[in-house]
């Protein structure tokens, strides 16, 4: 094949500058499991689901952290009973898969942890099941510090730089 004189070789790839978006990464997530605290059957089902989570953590299946408090009444932005499970990005997929398959009748709010808690619980959130109304006025719009949770695990935002 002959090259036509007018054709110029493609320019070599010059080093690209990194875009600000390339520096951003969400490294920690919350899974909030909701239940109707005044409905005995629903509350019991949520507690049984939590026990399964705790057993799986003990067996090493999960590297997530269930918050030890179970909110038997509305608290913060959560308008019904709830509890929270923290998952670092390193174990998000396993936690998400498990909740997809095993949440039962319970709605689960999944949101990132960033400096913008209000946006995290609303614009950046995903739901498994029927969304539960939240009182977003209870959340700060912006906080200066990253919401580090469980830094002793050296996962999520506390993981060593890659």
pLDDT for res 9 = 52
Q: What is the pLDDT of residue 46?
A: 98
pLDDT at 18: 73
- Please tell me the predicted confidence (pLDDT) of residue 87: 97
Q: What is the pLDDT of residue 20?
A: 77
- Give pLDDT, residue 151: 93
Indicate the DSSP class of residue 60: T
* pLDDT at residue 16, rounded to an integer: 73
**In the chain, what are the domains?**
26-139 (3.30.70.1240)
Q: Would you say the pTM of this structure is higher than 0.95? A: no
3-state helix, strand, coil in the chain (%, to 5): 30, 20, 50
Low-confidence ranges of the chain (pLDDT < 70): 1-15, 22, 162
Interhelix angle 92-102/40-58, rounded to 10 degrees, is 140
Beta bridge partners of residue 34, listed in sequence order: 82
pLDDT at 113: 96
- pLDDT the model gives residue 91: 96
Q: What is the pLDDT of residue 32?
A: 98
Q: List Cβ<8 Å contacts ≥24 apart for 116-119.
A: 116/141, 116/142, 117/141, 117/143, 117/147
Distance CA 154, CA 148 (A): 10
């Amino acid at each position: 094949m002959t090259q036509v004189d007018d054709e110029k070789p493609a320019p070599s790839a010059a080093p690209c500058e990194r875009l600000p978006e390339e520096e951003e990464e969400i490294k920690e997530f919350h899974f909030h499991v909701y239940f109707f605290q005044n409905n005995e059957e629903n509350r019991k089902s949520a507690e049984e689901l939590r026990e399964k989570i705790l057993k799986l953590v003990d067996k090493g299946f999960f590297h997530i952290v269930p918050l030890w408090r179970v909110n038997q009444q509305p608290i913060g932005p959560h308008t019904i009973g709830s509890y929270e499970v923290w998952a670092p990005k390193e174990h998000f997929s396993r936690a998400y898969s498990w909740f997809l398959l095993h949440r039962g009748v319970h709605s689960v709010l999944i949101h990132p942890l960033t400096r913008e808690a209000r946006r995290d619980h609303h614009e950046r959130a995903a739901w498994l099941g029927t969304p539960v109304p939240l009182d977003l006025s209870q959340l700060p719009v912006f906080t200066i510090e990253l919401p580090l949770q469980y830094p002793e695990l050296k996962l999520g935002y506390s993981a060593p730089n890659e």
